[in-house]
Chains A and B, each alone.
Chain A
Amino acid sequence: MEFIKFRNVEKTYKNGVNAVYNLNLDIKKGEFVFVTGASGSGKSTLIKMLYREEKPTHGEIYVGGINVAKVKNSKVYKLRRKIGIVFQDFKLLPKLTVYENVAFALEIYGLPTQEVKRKVLKALDLVGLKSRTKSYPDQLSGGEQQRVAIARAIVNSPKLLICDEPTGNLDPDTSLEVMKVIEKINDLGTTVVMVTHDKEMVNKMKKRVILLDNGKLIKDYEKGSYSNHESN
């Protein structure tokens, strides 16, 4: 069953830049998909449309049955609660502790404190940071910060995890450590869509790869590697 569907999606920015052309794409439940391509190929726009940071100019996007393009601005939060998002720059709140940063994503639902605690500790355990609950983000390494961000993204058990170059700011060893965490989450059943530049990573992981160029989908490999497309 398709979990994510792109149908004839086109995105033109207000300044006239065309980011995505006529995109058709299906992603199954539980899949792990890399979205790659050069800068300006439209891969960031693609995932931004997934969590409704941008609206497509034409076409339809379905995420778990919701037509994302039609979600009203005031209802975006309902979509976001079903999606976890991880960014290159972590986007942690510097003045909150690790625990508070993760709990933040649950408290907005009004869950009881005990339940919040249980879920937060479970998520932090999953990313291997249960011992750092009281630290502040600037006391952590880059990899640890990214793992906190992942814990925040998955604490609500979302069906979809979107990662926008999650290892872009990290050295290779740390990247691997973060990727392992994400793979573990995927193994637990969460669909993962990840934008990345990291060729080595893509090659190692042997997952589905979608290659974009100038806003067009040009390659879709079941178990691809970056180097294959580079040689095209």
Chain B
Amino acid sequence: MRKEVIVIMKAIRILLRNIRDGFKSVGRNLSLSIASISCITITLLIVGIAIVVSYNVENMTKLVKEDFTIVSFVNTSATDEEIQDLKKTIESYKNVESVEHQTKTEIANEMKDTSDSLSKIIDSWSEDSNPLYDTLLVKVRDTEKISKTAEQISDLDLIDEVQYGQGMVENLLSIFKVLEKAMIVAMIALVFVTLFLITNTIKITIFSRKREIEIMRLVGASNFSIKQPFVIEGFCLGFLGSLIPIAVTLYGYSALYKHFNGQLFSPFIKLVPAEPFIYFVSLILLGLGVVVGMFGSYRAVRKYLKI
């Protein structure tokens, strides 16, 4: 056999043995493994809930922002052509995403659907006596700048008035801003807490096996081959620890979504649809558990390899 082949065979054998040992030692140190796994489980549960909540809040603010519209009332003297020109002008503004023209007849028809008494009154109007205004419904790109854009539109000659929920919109926006910042801070803090908690529990698990590492070194195991089974063990712990949080996410959130019919308290607050959201969260939890487990083991073992 060639030398390279022998080296590769050796490496594969060592890897396979380390995988075997990594799995074995989860069972051999069962009580400590259970302690580590439950710690990971609890932390990941909290992380999972935090992801679900923050993602929903973000989704809600996004939906609300998407609803922001500048309603621009066009002067009754404007001809159809002038309205089309007006629409083009507004569309050319940087912050404008879309402009929709609603004729007064369309608005009248819409209003007719809302109640019978209103319908009777509106029916008495002729085409010319319709007192309603043609409107342009403007959606903006950046909601922060909605008041500026509204001002720009109201300055146009043929626009009589603009409405976008002045006052209310600004309040909502500032609340959203605070909310988003708080979410980011909370998520970062949580990630650090997770890292810290999981690495520490695993450290304690490995601390109790200082002797094992010492003996491995004494019989001539290289640092790399000492680390390997521990890292694999960390992988197992992280994987097992993420199972319950993933199950809770998959079944819990789906059940929650069904129970509330996809909306919380009012149609205004919509929940993120369960699929594929739950798979995405599960993947994050699995990844977090496994990576942090491996990282924690690696760090902990490294500490005992320095002599």
Contacts and interface: CB of A to CB of B under 8 A. Distances in A.
Interface of A: 51, 53, 73-74, 76-81, 83, 85, 91-93, 95, 104-105, 107-113, 152, 156
Given A76-B217, A91-B211, A91-B215, A107 B17 contact: yes
Nearest to B219: A105
Interface of B: 9-14, 17, 28-29, 211-212, 214-223, 225, 305-307
A69 to B, nearest CB: 14
B11 A110 contact: yes
A160 to B, nearest CB: 12
Given A107-B17, A108-B221, A109-B10, A93 B212 contact: yes
Given A80-B217, A91-B215, A95-B28, A74 B223 contact: yes
A81 B28 contact: no
A64 B215 CA distance: 23
Contacts of A109: 10, 14
Contact of A108 (B28, B29, B212, B222): B222
B215 A110 contact: no
Query: What does DSSP make chain B's interface, helix, strand, loop or mixed?
Result: helix
Contacts of A78: 220
9 contacts: A73-B306, A80-B218, A80-B219, A80-B220, A81-B220, A95-B29, A109-B10, A109-B14, A111-B10
Given A73-B307, A77-B223, A85 B11 contact: no
A231 B193 CA distance: 65
Given A53-B307, A73-B307, A91-B211, A110 B218 contact: no
B227 to A, nearest CB: 12
A77 B221 CA distance: 6
Contacts of A51: 218
B17 A77 contact: no
Nearest to B225: A108
A104 B307 CA distance: 22
A108 B219 contact: yes
Which 6 pairs show the lowest CB-CB distances between chains A and B?
A110-B10, A81-B220, A80-B220, A105-B219, A110-B14, A108-B221
Contacts, number: 64
B211 A77 contact: no
Contacts of A93: 211-212, 215
Contacts of B28: 95
Nearest to B28: A95
A112 B10 CA distance: 8
Given A53-B307, A93-B212, A111 B218 contact: no
A113 B14 CA distance: 11
Contacts of B215: 91-93, 104
A108 to B, nearest CB: 4
Contacts of B305: 73
Contacts of B218: 51, 80, 85, 91
B251 to A, nearest CB: 37
Contacts of B11: 110
Given A80-B218, A93-B212, A108-B222, 12 more contacts: A77-B217, A77-B221, A78-B220, A92-B215, A93-B215, A104-B216, A108-B225, A109-B14, A110-B10, A111-B10, A112-B9, A156-B220
Given A91-B211, A91-B214, A110-B9, A77 B220 contact: yes
A58 B174 CA distance: 69
Nearest to B13: A110
A108 B216 contact: yes
Given A53-B307, A91-B211, A93-B212, A112 B13 contact: yes
A76 B219 CA distance: 10
Contacts of A110: 9-14, 17
A152 B219 contact: yes
A108 B307 contact: no
A109 to B, nearest CB: 7
Contacts of B219: 80, 85, 104-105, 108, 152
Contacts of B306: 73
A120 to B, nearest CB: 13
A83 B219 CA distance: 8
Contacts of A73: 305-307
Nearest to A95: B28
B13 to A, nearest CB: 4
B103 to A, nearest CB: 80
Nearest to A102: B219
Which residue, of A81, A107, A152, has the highest number of chain B Cβ atoms within 10 A? A107
B288 to A, nearest CB: 30
A108 B216 CA distance: 9
A61 to B, nearest CB: 16
B229 to A, nearest CB: 10
